């Protein structure tokens, strides 16, 4: 009876899709310093010039149609495993912040102790389906702690599904080996962010390939700053973002037809006042709603964002900005919600207190909104 929020009608969706197709055929997408990716596109007959591919959008859609519309993300136990693209959204925590906000209101570079605390929080919270990965950058002796020590925290402290590292292809394969990830079982979910406008850098391309070859899950996302790395208007940003992710999603299917993927299009305004992106803004809520519609039409699960904010504190601003983004993901029907809890200061800071309040809100809002967005 209730249903997903259809922000855009069919005419608008088709217009954005046509614009994305035109961008692909006329401007193309740059695949930097990775001949294997270009070779992959040549193998399907796509036009490539220098480092740029000019694919046919309908051919990409046909490739993407081979990807599953739902798949199981395995934890250490069957009981901890979850289905992405199933009956409810799957929730994962913040990814990537270098700094931690402590109880006294001071910030410090993240440590392995912080990391373990964050994994424990995610393990214990009913709101979290996953312990994610890189919950903060863990520093020891001033340097980032190697990925295998982070993995140890996930393996020791939780049975829940985890993401994987995308710091390098070697590190990605290390972790895949260590958890025994095989092609028949998606244990890891790799967050491959391209670099708008219309560019994939070499490291994400290598990680994408490794993830697909290993049969692990790959989240292909465009994270745009409207007015800086994309058009300032929403329709234009959506068209660019769609063009961008079509390339990465199709590439996974060239490497391994049927490899599990998730697509995401995110865009937030770029402030010309302080020259940076502003997170949690209402424009990004609407982009999220439209992105859910566009990606669902590809027949794959949709990635949304959670309680993200520009605020440096867990205050009212963090609350209203975060609730707006999360609400859009839920009402739009996103299947996987990343950065759900803990995120502050445009993603550079994580707070354990904010993890707790975010998780409390998610536990309240998720069942009610998900029921609405059937």
C-alpha distance across the termini of the chain, in Å:
8
- Tell me: does residue 93 bind its own copies (CB under 8 A): no
Q: Is 282 in the site for its own copies (CB under 8 A)?
A: yes
d(CA 62, CA 154): 37
Among 179, 227, 218, CA closest to 200:
218
Q: Is 97 in the site for its own copies (CB under 8 A)?
A: no
Cβ-proximal residues to 268 (8 Å cutoff; 6+ apart), any chain: 224, 225, 226, 277, 278, 279, 280, 281, 283, 284, 287
Q: Is 321 in the site for its own copies (CB under 8 A)?
A: yes
Q: Which two tokens stand for residue 210?
A: 């490794």
- Looking at the Cβ atoms of 1 and 143, the one nearer to its own copies is 1
* 256 forms part of the interface with its own copies (CB under 8 A): no
CA distance 153 to 16: 43
Residue placing its CB nearer to its own copies in the complex, 231 or 327 = 327
Residues 285-304 binding its own copies (CB under 8 A) are 285-286, 289
Residue nearer to its own copies on the CB measure, 53 or 323: 323
Exposure b/e, 61-87, CB count within 10 A at least 16 = b: bebbebbbeebbbbbbeeebbbebbee
Candidate ranges 59-67, 128-136, 176-184, 308-316; the one touching its own copies (CB under 8 A):
308-316
Contacts with its own copies by CB under 8 A: the residue count is 38
CB of 23 to its own copies, least distance (A): 20
Residue 14 to residues 9, 23, 34, 124, 235, Cα–Cα distance (Å): 9, 14, 32, 43, 11
Q: Is 316 in the site for its own copies (CB under 8 A)?
A: yes
| Residue 276 binds its own copies (CB under 8 A) | no
Please, are residues 303 and 287 in contact by the beta-carbon 8 Å criterion? no
List the x/- string, 340-369, binding to its own copies by CB under 8 A.
--------------x--x---x--xx--xx
Interface residues toward its own copies, by CB under 8 A: 1-3, 5-9, 11-12, 281-283, 285-286, 289, 307, 314-324, 327, 331, 354, 357, 361, 364-365, 368-369, 372
């Amino acid at each position: 009876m209730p249903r997903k929020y259809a922000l855009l009608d069919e005419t608008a969706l088709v217009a954005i899709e046509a614009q994305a197709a035109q961008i692909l055929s006329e401007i193309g997408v740059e695949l930097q310093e990775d001949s294997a990716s270009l070779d992959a596109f040549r193998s399907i007959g796509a036009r490539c010039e220098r480092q740029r591919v000019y694919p046919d959008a309908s051919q990409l859609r046909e490739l993407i149609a081979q990807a599953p519309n739902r798949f199981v993300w395995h934890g250490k136990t069957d009981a901890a495993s979850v289905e992405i693209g199933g009956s409810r959204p799957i929730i994962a925590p913040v990814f990537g912040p270098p700094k931690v906000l402590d109880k006294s209101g001071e910030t410090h570079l993240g440590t392995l102790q912080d990391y373990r605390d964050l994994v424990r929080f995610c393990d214990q919270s009913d709101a979290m389906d996953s312990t994610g990965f890189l919950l903060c950058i863990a520093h020891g002796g001033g340097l980032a702690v190697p990925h295998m020590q982070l993995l140890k925290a996930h393996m020791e402290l939780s049975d829940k599904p985890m993401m994987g590292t995308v710091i390098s292809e070697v590190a990605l394969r290390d972790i895949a080996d260590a958890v025994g990830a095989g092609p028949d079982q998606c244990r890891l979910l790799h967050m491959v962010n391209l670099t708008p406008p219309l560019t994939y850098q070499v490291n994400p391309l290598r990680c994408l390939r490794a993830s697909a070859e290993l049969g692990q899950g790959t989240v292909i996302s465009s994270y745009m700053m409207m007015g800086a790395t994309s058009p300032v208007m929403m329709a234009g940003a959506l068209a660019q973002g769609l063009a961008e992710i079509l390339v990465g999603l199709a590439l996974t299917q060239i490497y391994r037809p049927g490899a599990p993927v998730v697509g995401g299009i995110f865009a937030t305004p770029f402030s010309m006042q302080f020259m940076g992106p502003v997170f949690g803004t209402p424009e990004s809520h609407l982009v999220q709603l439209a992105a859910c519609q566009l990606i669902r039409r590809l027949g794959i699960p949709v990635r949304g964002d959670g309680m993200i904010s520009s605020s440096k504190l867990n205050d009212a601003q963090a609350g209203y900005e975060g609730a707006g983004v999360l609400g859009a993901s839920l009402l739009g029907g996103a299947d996987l919600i990343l950065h759900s809890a803990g995120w502050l200061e445009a993603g550079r800071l994580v707070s354990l207190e904010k993890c707790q309040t975010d998780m409390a809100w998610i536990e309240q809002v998720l069942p009610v909104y998900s029921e609405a967005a059937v």
